[in-house]
Structure 1
Amino acid sequence: MSTDPFDPLLARAHAHASDFLRELPHRFVGARAGREEMIAALDAPLSQHGEDPGAVIDLLAQQAQRGVSGCAAPRYFGFVIGGSLPVALAADWLVSTWDQNAGIHVISPLAAAMEEIAGRWLLELFDLPRGSGVGFVTGCQMAHFTCLAAARHEVLRRVGWDVEAEGLNGSPRIHVVASEDAHITLDVALRYLGLGTRALVRVEADGQGRMRADRLGEVLSALEGPTIVCAQAGNVNTGAFDPLAEIGELARMHGAWMHVDGAFGLWVRASAERRGVADGIELADSWATDAHKWLNVPYDSGVAIVRHAEAHRAAMTVAAAYLIQTRGAERDAVDWVPEFSRRARGIPVYATLRAVGRDGVADLVDRCCARARQFAAVLGGEPGVRILNDVVLNQVLVRFGDDDTLTREVITGVQLDGTCWASGTTWHDLAAMRISVSNWATSEADVDVSAAAMLRVFRELRARR
């Protein structure tokens, strides 16, 4: 096949991509246009014969200048969003070029081998049971789904119920226990799995969002039947970790499955300096995390890890003669994830881990945590500004003044200023700015410039009152 149709377009796309990446550290961080502007610029009648492909690529690049946010930029602190390490982005370009369906081994032995190796490396990096099942999914939402499907399978199997064959109609009730500050993706996973959000038994949390182990003990003592306990490694607002060791011991005592939401917090296991906050995480039965957060690979890249590989596989696997599944040493990804057809999303994980090594992952985690402490020190030193959380990881909650209105005005003002971008939240009924430091490229200078912009907006708004 001639590459002539590809070369000019790929060269054009490469030039646009290079321009975007070159400008990314210095650009206005938020998006400059909203829905109406984007519809006006992009909408047109679908043509009969098509348009020039080069012009289409140019249009995308042109409108990206206004319509995309700089969420891969070093001064983007909204949500927990990492950038893309150069090696990760380059590997992802190859993934799109190869266009492999990574569902089964026979289609792409390369993708299957890389995901098998990357899974093993992750278990070593996190120091989790080496025989665990590993699946590469779209994000932590589907990682929860996958892990909790394995949990559903196993806790019902123990009481003699085959949920894959019989479904949930008539099955023993499954109790799902989680902190009152658990992430909303847990609720969604329960909906997808047919367990429903009313299956959730909420446990009181402390002032930092950590599940109270004493309350968990009381809850578990009052429950009978199949039970799943969901713990959190990294509260989405404060970064705090549930008391994982205590939760793990209680779960084992009561015969419950323990699942951990480690969307970003699981990566702290790579850091010798900070891994102590995750002590006890190894007691769990399953773990969900995102590589597109702290590993800084492109979207979509979640990871589901299940200690009981046989339960993991039983909950996910399907078989059909036409799929040519060997059931031998070869890895068929369809045994570990909900999808048949999927991109080879494990390849950027493999490439990144191989390129940066254990020390590189640890350094990435440690630097982001250091930059979060820098934010807290600079902002917390300003009269009228309060840091609402103990900064144990990469999350900082900031309160400006004594009322919600001023804090929200500062958040809006900072977003309009464009120097950086931070999001808002409500924490214990108080409006707060939520700063998440997750990007490999964020430097001390980026934090200094960003904190100065935040304080400038705060001072200007306060002076007008």
Structure 2
Amino acid sequence: MALALGIRGQSSKSGGMTITAPRQSTAQEHLDRVHTNPTTMARNREHIALITEAARRSGSYIANAAHRSIAAPAEAVAALDTFRRPLQEEPIDARTVLAELDAFGSPATTVQNQGRYFGYVNGGLDPAAHAAAILAGTWDQNVGAHIMTPVATTLDEVAGEWVIDALGLPSTAHASFNAGATIANLTGIITARDALYAKQGWDVGQGGLAGAPALRIIVGDEIHASALKALRLAGLGTGNLERIPTDANGSIIADAFPTDTDDATLVLLQAGNVNTGHSDPFTSIIPGVRERGGWVHVDGAFGLWAAASPTHRHLVAGVELADSWATDAHKWLNAPYDSGILIVRDPATVVRSMSTDAAYLNTGEATPPFQRGIQMSQRARGVETWAMLASHGKTGLADLIDRSIGHARHFADALAEAGATILAPVVLNQVLVSFRGDATTEAVIAAVQADGTLWAGATQWHGQRAMRLSVSDAATTRDDVNASVAAIVRLWRELT
């Protein structure tokens, strides 16, 4: 009688019994069992079913979004209390979770990708970039190093090179993707800080900032809040900033800019004032600062993209002379949130500031992505920008910029014809509007936001309350602008 203990193994006799010694399974046999594992197969089937259902629901959302209020209706916002419950003890089927998310979440969104959302500088959603984001989300890649993800790091690199080329920046520069222009500004300012201190013989990485010599920091009166936040986070503070006066459109007055800067000077300029779209006079400022050893960083979250348009690049002439630039892909490029870009003229400077080391991080790569930014782990943001640029090309990108500016000018002309006051000449995609006094302007903005035909925000400009219209969605058409103007004028008339 034989007792089989294995699969076709060696046989031997012991005490009259034949024992078959177990044979080690081959690697292929192990893999075969992996591939046919019932739990794995069931999980994959469920995963495929879920993402297919999510795609169906996403398509339904897009089909219906254009017909609903741009702002979330009050009843939909109230229904969000459905989500405010204690975490239950037992699991809930994932399909039920997805259905609940769609049923109560989708109606409570702000519709910012159907052409009539003009708040802040929120971009819409480019179809190619969106589709790429879905695929990249399924890939689930960590763009920390090439060894982790050859495809995502390659697309990250190529997209960065394309951005630099499209913007006409130095070909030796390097672009790194991050979570947004605030992070890009922070990374650029830290890089500038360390480079300037290195010239003073101070190693911030070793000595920190305590006891470090002071840097001279020069900004315009209209510096954006994200740049101020970045200065605080970089440990430089905002209490000793040297503020240069700006003109009626928010641009630094070149004649007021100091000519005694040195190699301990950091200058922050901006491409595209957040209210007016006007830029600082780069050609008049940057050469002298850099010749005297200083560093110029440009906050160009949206305005930097004017450089991609042959028709409008003169508005940011000289911006390519700076040392570093911060911009967004999720604004004018309409890449999905969140996606910012830092570009540095000398890649070695950002590596000096952002590099770190550990035995397990030694990938053999010269400068993996985690050595060029704040985050060590990050999603594949560059994939989305690559898809947007690949589908548009240079002419398509320029057309997007030109078209948005054209819509902004049409907005201004139509509202001015109706009797509103345009507070600054429209040069990019920003329109500032007053409706004959602060109280009326506030009332019109509130009525517009409640009406739902469009969405526009409020701002303060040179002592006046203003409606701020930012044409940043690629989906906006002339019909969207006309419908929005008609709604604004109708609501204004009803108030007066």
TM over 0.5: yes
Taking only the aligned residue pairs, the percentage that are identical comes to 40
- 1:31 counterpart SS class: coil
Which residue identity lines up with residue 445 of structure 1 in the other structure? D
Change (3 A) 1:36 1:367: closer
**Cross-structure match for 2:392:** 356
User: Is residue 298 from structure 1 mapped to residue 336 from structure 2 by the alignment?
Assistant: yes
Work out which of the residue numbers 118, 121, 131 in structure 2 matches 1:80. 121
**Cross-structure match for 1:400:** 435
**Cross-structure match for 1:417:** 451
- 1:5 counterpart SS class: helix
Instruction: Confirm or deny: 8 A CA contact 1:257 1:285 kept in the other structure.
Output: yes
Work out which of the residue numbers 293, 297, 301 in structure 2 matches 1:259. 297
- Shift >4 Å, 4+ stretches: none
Matches of residues 174-253 of structure 1 in structure 2 within 5 Å?
174-217=215-258, 220-221=259-260, 226-253=264-291
For normalisation by structure 1, the TM-score amounts to: 0.95
Work out which of the residue numbers 384, 389, 402 in structure 1 matches 2:424. 389
CA distance in structure 2 between the aligned counterparts of 1:38 and 1:325, rounded to whole angstroms: 49
Which residue identity lines up with residue 398 of structure 2 in the other structure? A
Instruction: Confirm or deny: 8 A CA contact 2:220 2:246 kept in the other structure.
Output: yes
CA distance in structure 2 between the aligned counterparts of 1:348 and 1:141, rounded to whole angstroms: 19
Matches of residues 262-411 of structure 1 in structure 2 within 5 Å?
262-328=300-366, 332-383=368-419, 385-401=420-436, 403-411=437-445
- 2:341 counterpart SS class: strand
CA distance in structure 2 between the aligned counterparts of 1:34 and 1:308, rounded to whole angstroms: 53
CA distance in structure 2 between the aligned counterparts of 1:367 and 1:380, rounded to whole angstroms: 20
Instruction: Confirm or deny: 8 A CA contact 1:133 1:312 kept in the other structure.
Output: no
Number of residue pairs matched?
Answer: 455
The superposition leaves residues 302-354 of structure 1 with CA deviations (integer Å, 9 ceiling, x where unpaired) of 000010111111111112110232134xx511011100111111110111111
Instruction: Confirm or deny: 8 A CA contact 1:263 1:288 kept in the other structure.
Output: yes
Work out which of the residue numbers 167, 175, 182 in structure 2 matches 1:126. 167
**Cross-structure match for 2:494:** 460
User: Is residue 445 from structure 1 mapped to residue 479 from structure 2 by the alignment?
Assistant: yes
**Cross-structure match for 1:108:** 149
**Cross-structure match for 1:64:** 105
Instruction: Confirm or deny: 8 A CA contact 1:147 1:288 kept in the other structure.
Output: yes
Instruction: Confirm or deny: 8 A CA contact 1:182 1:232 kept in the other structure.
Output: yes
Work out which of the residue numbers 178, 181, 198 in structure 2 matches 1:140. 181
CA distance in structure 2 between the aligned counterparts of 1:386 and 1:266, rounded to whole angstroms: 27
CA distance in structure 2 between the aligned counterparts of 1:45 and 1:190, rounded to whole angstroms: 40
- 2:169 counterpart SS class: coil
Work out which of the residue numbers 151, 155, 163 in structure 1 matches 2:192. 151
Higher relative contact order (CA 8 A, sep 6+): 1
- 1:96 counterpart SS class: helix
**Cross-structure match for 1:6:** 47
**Cross-structure match for 2:21:** none
Which residue identity lines up with residue 358 of structure 2 in the other structure? A
**Structure with max Cα Rg:** 2
CA distance in structure 2 between the aligned counterparts of 1:224 and 1:258, rounded to whole angstroms: 12
In structure 2, runs of 5+ residues without a counterpart are 1-39
The superposition leaves residues 263-297 of structure 1 with CA deviations (integer Å, 9 ceiling, x where unpaired) of 00111111000000110101100000000001111
User: Is residue 49 from structure 1 mapped to residue 84 from structure 2 by the alignment?
Assistant: no
Q: CA deviation at 1:198?
A: 1.6
- 1:433 counterpart SS class: strand
Q: CA deviation at 1:33?
A: 3.5
The superposition leaves residues 79-110 of structure 1 with CA deviations (integer Å, 9 ceiling, x where unpaired) of 11111111100000112111111111111011
Which residue identity lines up with residue 258 of structure 1 in the other structure? V
In structure 1, runs of 5+ residues without a counterpart are none
- 1:4 counterpart SS class: helix
The superposition leaves residues 124-176 of structure 1 with CA deviations (integer Å, 9 ceiling, x where unpaired) of 11111111121101000000011111101111111111111211111111121
CA distance in structure 1 between the aligned counterparts of 2:75 and 2:268, rounded to whole angstroms: 38
CA distance in structure 1 between the aligned counterparts of 2:241 and 2:136, rounded to whole angstroms: 39
CA distance in structure 1 between the aligned counterparts of 2:95 and 2:346, rounded to whole angstroms: 50
The superposition leaves residues 389-436 of structure 1 with CA deviations (integer Å, 9 ceiling, x where unpaired) of 1100000000012x2111011001011111100001010110000000
Instruction: Confirm or deny: 8 A CA contact 1:231 1:247 kept in the other structure.
Output: no
Instruction: Confirm or deny: 8 A CA contact 1:237 1:396 kept in the other structure.
Output: yes
CA distance in structure 1 between the aligned counterparts of 2:110 and 2:52, rounded to whole angstroms: 24
Change (3 A) 1:377 1:36: closer
- 2:243 counterpart SS class: strand
Instruction: Confirm or deny: 8 A CA contact 2:80 2:104 kept in the other structure.
Output: no
Change (3 A) 1:448 1:147: same
Change (3 A) 1:317 1:65: same
Instruction: Confirm or deny: 8 A CA contact 2:117 2:454 kept in the other structure.
Output: yes
- 1:365 counterpart SS class: helix
Instruction: Confirm or deny: 8 A CA contact 1:172 1:225 kept in the other structure.
Output: no
